[in-house]
Every structure is written in C-alpha cells, then in structure tokens.
Structure 1
Amino acid sequence: MRSEISIGNQDFAAIIENNYFYVDKTEFIKSWWESGDVVTLITRPRRFGKTLNLSMMEHFFSNKYQDGVNLFKNLDIWKHREYQKLANQYPVIFLSFASVKGTSFETARQQIIQQIVGLYRNYNHILDAPFITQMDRSFWNMVSYDMNDAIATDAIRFLCEMLCKYYERKVLIFMDEYDTPIQEAYVDGFWNEMTGFVRNLFNATFKTNRYLERAILTGITRISKESIFSDLNNLKVDTITNARYENDFGFTEKEVREALSNYDMEDSFSDVKKWYDGFKIGSKADIYNPWSVTQYLDSGKLDDYWANTSENSLIDKLIKESGVNVKTAVESLLKGEAVEALIDDEIVFNLIDKNESGIFSLLLAAGYLRVVDVLQEQGVRKKYSVALTNLEVKHTFDDMIKRWFEGDNVGYNDFIKALLQNDVKYMNRFMNDIALNTFSVFDVGKGVSNRREPERFYHGFVLGLMVDLADKYLITSNRESGFGRYDVCLEPKEKSDPAYVIEFKVHDCEDEKDLQETVKKALKQIEDKNYDAALISRGVNKDRIFHYGFAFEGKKVLIG
C-alpha cells in the first residue's frame, strides 16, 4: 500500500511514525559525520529539504530522544552498525530563524531573542544540577525577553557550557535558515544593525565556543565572510556550485522515477522533468525540486507549487531596479537562451544592487538559474553560462513581470490591444498612464538622470511585451539589423501577421522644438538604418511592418 503524503510536514519523527511518504536521506548523517568538519554551512534553494534533514539529524543524535531504533531501523543509516551506537548520544541545540522577518531591527532582534529564550525554557532542569554556581544562575536568569546585546550574543554559548557539564558531552548545534534575518534586513533597510548583532552572536556560538562538538547551519545564500563570518575560520561551506552533499538535498532522477512508479504515475515522467528538474548541485545534474514533486504526487496536477511558496520580493526588486544589461539578459533567459554571468562565491547583500554579478549570484543560489556550462572557474568570481532552471521558474518570472504593470490606473493589456490594432490615439493615452505609474518602479535612486530613466523603463517594458505576446511574437531589443541597432522588434510567429519596429528617443530640447519632432527623428532613424532588414530576410512582408517612434520628456510620452 502506498504511503499517504503529508504536505508541509517537516517533523522527521511524525513522518516516519505515521508512515508518510519519505525519500530516504539518512546517508547524509554518515557523510557529514565522517567529514570531520566543525561548522558546516549548507546553502540550497528554498523548500529543498533543509529543515526536514535537520529534524532528521536532531532525532538521530539528540539524547532527549530515545527512539533512534524505532525511527531509523528501516532506513539506510541503520545498515552501518557503528552508527547505531551514535544514536541519541549527544546534547543537541536545534533552532530556526525562519520566522525572523521583522520589518525593523528592533522587531527582528526581538524575534531572535524569543528563539533563544525558548531554548532555555527546554532546559530549566539543569538549574538543579550540583555544578551550577550562583554566577551561573545569575546569567541564566538574565536570559530574558529584555536582555541586552552582551547577554544575548553569549547566551547560546553559555547554554552549550551548561549542557556539556550536565551531560558530560560537547554539544551539537543545528541552525536552520540562518540567513533569513539578513535578507529581510537588506530589504527593509537595517542591514548594518542586523549584521553587527548576528556577527557577534555567531562568533560566540561557533568560534569561541569550546563546548561545541560540531554544528550545521543551513540557508539559501552564502553571506560574505566580512558581513557575519569574519571571525569564523573553522567554517566549511557547501554551496549549490561547490557541493559535497550532492544527493542529500532535493530528489535525484532515480528517486523521482521510483516515487512516480509507486504512485502509478510513470507516464507523467517527461512532464515532471520539464516542470521540476533542472537543478544542478555540485557535479550532480538532474536534481528535482522536492517540494513540487511531492505536491504533484499528492494532487496529480502540474502546477507552480515552489514559486508560490517562495517570497520573491528581493528578486523582484533587484531585477526591476537593475540596469539595461540585466534586463536584456532576462529577456534572453525568458526565450530559453543561456547567458554568461559572473558568479560570486559569497554574496555581499549591502552591495548586491551595485553590480550584476551579485544579482546573478543570488538568482543561482536561490534556484532560479541553473549552470549550463563552466566558462571560467579561477578566482573569487566564476564565469558560468546560466539559464532558467525549469518551466516552473519561467512561470515565476512571467508572473513577476506582469505585476510590474498592474495597477488601478494602468491599462497595459489595453495598450497591447491598441498596438496590435495600430490605434495610435489609444496607444498614447495608455502609454502615458503606464509611464506615469511605472517610471518610479524602474528608477533605482537619486543618481538616475532623466535621460537614463526612459532607457531603464523601456527595457522593463520590453519584458512586459514578451510575457504578454509570447504566444504570437518573438520580441527582441537592442539587436543589430541593417546599419544599426533597433530598440524593439516584434516578429510575428505567423508571417502573415503584422510586425513592429519601435524606436525610443529622449527629447533633446536643444535640437528638437517639441516631442513631435523627436518622434519624427525616431521614425527617420528606423528608415535610414534599415531596421526592417532582419524581418524581411526572415520572410516578413515589407508592407506588414509597422514603425513607431516613442518620444520621452520626463514622464510624458508621445507615440507616432
């Protein structure tokens, strides 16, 4: 009889005890223990089994449980007799920063404090131990919701000391989603305060803690050493591009095939592969998104499960406010092409919007991109050829771009209809609404000039065209044709349909008396540089090619 699927259940014991669907990842216990690494940082995309694996580790090692035999006897790790002796032998601290999402430093700090206070509540019985001194008791009592930074940052280390003395064994620490507070701090503008607090906490917990046996931290990103790990030289990092634990997070193709077979769904393998495959962990290709595969096994319906769980606000912000090169790269990615990108080993969040490599590094770490080829592997920055991971991720990008143009006063779909009907009057009305409502969306700060603002806007605008018209048109921008580079070209998939060439120009008050003259210059440029050449060479009739000039002056637009 096939197992029931418990969606969202990340409690290892509950899954095993109730015989829910589970893909055996217990060999990770052996691999990690044999590595000998003191502090291991493992970064994987969201919903990739990190929390469940840490729950598994806690239930295997923690001496507060005595159910190792019952939970693990039918799993791979129990085949190794020497590991049976390790079960339930260590004091374990398990905490998660998943819920630390305060929109101010004070709130986020307090959420971390609550996690620490919660740990102490679990071990109040230690206070009755004979080794507890009055000073120990005083420090313990100071660990409270209103404790200061000095107490808070040393609280986990002190708890390790007490546990080590009580159980006469050093402590294992498992910390899940360590980077959530840092990402939220970047988005909400309190980066410096949060990194300072977390840096001191991590230094005391993982560096100067002689009562620590070993530790695992999991997250999505590898945050730069300078930001929070500056004092940790005992850190072993396992990332999506440089992985030791290649098979332990996410489903392998073999595991997916077996699961589909168990649920009598073998015939859907090719569709599942298209939707949920594409991840590459280290040298291991064909890693599947476990959350989406599990949802599919449960519902029998292909859908965007993973995309709907992840918070895309940071990705949305970075792409929307990025420069021309990033938007042009996204255009290529949406067409199924690969692009070259520099990838940083570490992500410096407070500088991530200052360089393209930071954006692409985050997209890769978060699972939105996959490595197609390694072009240069020397140095801190690696050069890769990257593409969108799979069909589910493509849908995520499509939805994100559509939302850029949503709003009560913006008629983007009406503009598309007017464009295809060559209704210039309607186009002008709606284009001015769109520009008025969305220029600020693509403005990346005080340094953006009036001349650069339209350029950023129109590349975002092109992405909107691509999403809305992808079924009928191939949309490209800034491509060579004839004697120059056109701004936007809409090439019909059916050659009998009309084609469009669009040129954007910013009004030059010194050379052009008004926007109408700017429009004329744009149209003349299309003719003079023969931008129709590429379309004609691919079989589009000259009479079915329409030209439009878009003239910008501030947030005013004129189309002709």
Structure 2
Amino acid sequence: SRPRRFGKSLLTSTLRTYFEGPKELFEGLAIEKLETEWTQYPVLHFDMSLGKHLDKDALNRYLHNMLENNEIRLGITTREAQDTNIRLTNLIMDAYAKYGKQVVVLIDEYDAPLLDVVHEERDLPTLRNVMRNFYSPLKACDPYLRYVFLTGITKFSQLSIFSELNNIQNISMVKEYAALCGITEKEMRTQMDADLDAFAEKTGMDKEQLVEKLKSYYDGYHFTWPSPDIYNPYSLMNAF
C-alpha cells in the first residue's frame, strides 16, 4: 500500500512488461544483467481504479468486463460462468494449459471499489463480499500461479477481503521495499542531477539551496524505520 499518485500503476505495468519478456525494453537497466532467462509468462492484469462508486450489479459487470479483456488478449475462449470467481479460476487454468507456464496475476488498486463506502455499514459488506469472491481463486489456484502482486491505498488487512488468503505476504512496510515507489533523495541527486542544475539556474538558487527547498516541500515519507527519505513523485515531477 502507498498513497495516491505514488507510482503504483507504473510499477504494476513495469512488472507486467517484465513478465511478458521483451528484454529490449530493459536495456541499460540493472535487470538486464540480473535476469538471464527472460521467460515469457501469461499475465493477467486487472486495474480496479475505475471500479469506484458502483453498486453490486455494476461492480460485477465491471469485473466480468476486465476478465473478458484478459481472455481476448491471451486468446482464450470464454467458458460459461456467471460468477466472477469461477470465471477467474477458468481463466487461470486455461492460460496455464495454453501456454504451459504458470500465470502471473497483477491487480492494481485492489481496494478502489470499496474506498467510497469504507465507512458505511449498509453498502460495505455487500461490495466486500463481491471483491472477496473475486479474489478467492488466488489461493485455490496457487499451484498454477508464478507470481501475484497487488497494490492499494489502504492497509492490506483493513478491509478484510483477504481473510482466507494466507499465501500472500504484505511487503508495504518491509525494509527492502521501502523505496520501491516514490523517489529517494539519492535517486534525485543522481538520476535527476542535470535537471537539478537547470532548475537551480532557472530559480537563481545554488543547487544545495534548491535541494533543501525541494526537501522542505516534498520529502517526508517513511514506510519503515530506519527508512530512506522518500519524496512524493507526482509533486516533485510537477515542480520540475
């Protein structure tokens, strides 16, 4: 889990591209040397960000639409299934059978359909059951899954969607992944060094003055202790 505008969707799409195997897109990056096989896996990618402000029926239609889009992209014929969990199970099994490889499942903003009703007693239980039902195959299909990754805004356990999924690890506040999203000061000073020079010249400040100014505005995120200083990427990019 990370705040809004923190690069979660970019991270998810990067993982999708990596697992789909086009090595040439990663030339010059660390992964080019770290990865030696570049195995292509079937990838299911679900973006829940547009599933907001929906009632039960509309949410079910939205989930079926995303399942259909993944089926079309992977060239898999839809098997009759009214329930989203059965359809997702069929999709995972059929992708595994067709490609002979375990399936990668990427879910961006897993909690989006529930955020606008998270404090409501009337609608939350109904929509939570819809999402819990949809995610349930992630445990039942474990032998057929190579990798599962989810992003969201809320704490992983807060919405009680995954009470049955004991095979997923929450890395939100694990030290090794503290800087996975966002921009660290080290990254800003190295990868954006030429931009800092241009920014400083434009504003009439020397570089260190500028860095201190940027730090006072956009630094302050820490997801572990100890943690590197994390800058809000969206705000920092807007400043540049």
TM-score above 0.5 = yes
Q: How does 1:39-438 map to 2 (within 5 A)?
A: 43-62=1-20, 67-68=22-23, 70-80=24-34, 83-85=35-37, 87-124=38-75, 126-127=76-77, 140-143=78-81, 148=82, 151-186=83-118, 189-204=122-137, 206-209=138-141, 210-224=143-157, 227-239=160-172, 241-263=173-195, 264-266=198-200, 267=207, 268-283=210-225, 284-297=227-240
1:265 aligned counterpart, secondary structure = helix
Across the aligned residues of Structure 1 and Structure 2, the Cα RMSD in angstroms comes to 2.0
Work out whether residues 61 and 88 of structure 1, in 8 Å CA contact, stay in contact via their aligned partners in 2: yes
Per-residue CA deviations over 1:352-400 (Å, capped at 9, x if unaligned) read xxxxxxxxxxxxxxxxxxxxxxxxxxxxxxxxxxxxxxxxxxxxxxxxx
Question: Match of 1:257, as an amino acid?
Answer: R
Structure 2 Cα separation of the partners of residues 183 and 158 of structure 1? 28
Aligned to 2:203: none
The answer to which structure has the higher strand fraction is: 1
Aligned to 1:468: none
Work out whether residues 244 and 282 of structure 1, in 8 Å CA contact, stay in contact via their aligned partners in 2: no
Would the alpha carbon gap of residues 112 and 161 (structure 1) be closer, same or farther in structure 2, given more than 3 Å must change? Answer: same
Work out whether residues 177 and 220 of structure 1, in 8 Å CA contact, stay in contact via their aligned partners in 2: yes
Work out whether residues 277 and 286 of structure 1, in 8 Å CA contact, stay in contact via their aligned partners in 2: yes
Question: Match of 2:103, as an amino acid?
Answer: V
Question: Match of 2:180, as an amino acid?
Answer: D
Structure 2 Cα separation of the partners of residues 52 and 44 of structure 1? 13
Question: Match of 2:60, as an amino acid?
Answer: R
Structure 2 Cα separation of the partners of residues 51 and 249 of structure 1? 10
Structure 2 Cα separation of the partners of residues 105 and 223 of structure 1? 22
Would the alpha carbon gap of residues 103 and 171 (structure 1) be closer, same or farther in structure 2, given more than 3 Å must change? Answer: closer
Work out whether residues 104 and 185 of structure 1, in 8 Å CA contact, stay in contact via their aligned partners in 2: no
How far the C-alpha of 1:265 sits from its partner, in A, is 2.2
Calculate percent identity across the aligned residue pairs. 28
Alignment: residue pair count: 227
Per-residue CA deviations over 1:281-331 (Å, capped at 9, x if unaligned) read 21313110111111211xxxxxxxxxxxxxxxxxxxxxxxxxxxxxxxxxx
**Larger RCO, structure (CA 8 Å, separation 6 or more):** 2
2:163 aligned counterpart, secondary structure = coil
Structure 2 Cα separation of the partners of residues 92 and 113 of structure 1? 17
